[in-house]
Amino acid sequence: MDLSWMAWTQPTAIFFITIASLIAGMAVWEWFVPGGSPRFGILRLHTTRGDRLFISLLGSAFICLFWLGFVGPNLWFALGVCLLYALAVFRWV
């Protein structure tokens, strides 16, 4: 398989490994504690753990895009903002 079309750098590999690890971790969590802990949060939607993970990943992508557009390519501070955002989503959404 020719994968030369994509720049497979260390950050790219870390990104995909992190996403795969999050999904695997959610699967294990669901295996041991089934049901997804549905709740009616601040968005006034019934969400499960998987929904909250998706909202966290989607919001984090937008945070990073805005950071790239307005601040620059150093994303370490944006990563911290994304982690705080994900914690807030899992806590209140």
Q: How far apart are CA 84 and CA 2, in angstroms?
A: 38
Question: Is residue 30 situated within a structural domain?
Answer: no
Scored b (16 or more CB within 10 A) or e, 18-32 reads eeeeeeeebeeeeee
Domain span at 74: 39-93
Question: Is residue 9 situated within a structural domain?
Answer: no
pTM of the model: 0.82
Question: Is residue 76 situated within a structural domain?
Answer: yes
- Cβ neighbours, 10 Å, residue 52: 22
Residue 40: strand pairing partners: 46
Query: Looking at residue 12, what is its pLDDT?
Result: 78
Average pLDDT, the chain: 89
Question: Is residue 29 situated within a structural domain?
Answer: no
Q: For the chain, how far is it from start to end, CA to CA, in angstroms?
A: 41
Which residues of the chain fall short of a pLDDT of 50? none
